[in-house]
Amino acid sequence: MLIPAQPFPYAFQMDHTALVIIDMQRDFIEPGGFGETLGNDVSLLAAIVPSCQTVLAAWRQAGGMVVHTREAHAADLSDCPPAKRLRGNPRLRIGDVGPMGRILVAGEPGNQIIDALAPVAGEIVIDKPGKGAFYATPLQALLAQNGITHLLFMGVTTEVCVQTSMREANDRGYDCLLLEDCTESYFPAFKTSAVEMLRAQGAIVGWTAFSAALLQALDTPESGQR
């Protein structure tokens, strides 16, 4: 398939491409989680949920591989460096008890992926202790086992976990595309900057496109090379 993208069209084959959904968790999107304890207005992030749902449904329908990530720490916080836990002056720190359970701890209610985008059987779910999806996770091995060479990214936040994951993936040789209307930041200006810098210099990190371009290609797979 070939879809309109910036800075130039993006080519991919369904069976070598995975949709990677970064950290669409209650901890970032709902009040009372990690995102809000950092002082952010979390309501901005909910706006992308409908477009993410549409893409996820179409990608599943087309039979594409789906990877969900969660920023999550072990209950004993053994995978949370003090430098991360002690940074800044949040209202609640990682591991503290908040209204949705312990902040950013695996298995807690607030750490779950939001219901609207919940994983289904057969989809990969990666718990990651860092901002990037590859650091200290089995993601690269799982993608290699499945012959994946191309990654389509959605999720939050654009300039933190999405950008870090996309840069990690780019350095590992994946052709990456970010769906612009399926990612969001607590800081609109940072989203704009991140999108622009990722695709600058001839797609130095990767491509960007709007979901309509992907949806149109998925509707008409015969329109491009499959």
Known active-site residue 161? yes
Q: Does 186 bind ligand TIU (CB under 6 A)?
A: yes
Known active-site residue 128: yes
Active-site residue among 52, 80, 131, 161? 161
Distance, in Å, from the CA atom of 23 to the CA atom of 69, rounded to the nearest integer, reads 5
Q: Answer yes or no whether residue 23 interacts with ligand TIU by CB under 6 A.
A: yes
* Residue 156 binds ligand TIU (CB under 6 A): yes
Q: Which is nearer to ligand TIU, 198 or 215 (by Cβ)?
A: 198
Distance CA 216, CA 109 (A): 36
Burial class (CB in 10 A: 0-12, 13-18, 19+), 8: exposed
Q: Is 134 a residue that touches ligand TIU (CB under 6 A)? A: no
CB-neighbour burial class of residue 147 (10 A; exposed 0-12, middle 13-18, buried 19+): exposed
Q: Which stretch binds ligand TIU (CB under 6 A): 117-125, 138-146, 155-163, 191-199?
A: 155-163
CA–chain centroid gap for 226, Å, is 24
- Alpha carbon distance 199, 207 (integer Å): 5
Name residues contacting ligand TIU, limited to 61-100 (CB under 6 A).
71
Applying CB under 6 A, which part among 91-99, 156-164, 194-202, 216-224 lies near ligand TIU? 156-164
32 residue type, one letter = G
Catalytic, 79? Answer no
Interacting residues toward ligand TIU by CB under 6 A: 23, 28, 38, 71, 131, 156-157, 160-161, 186
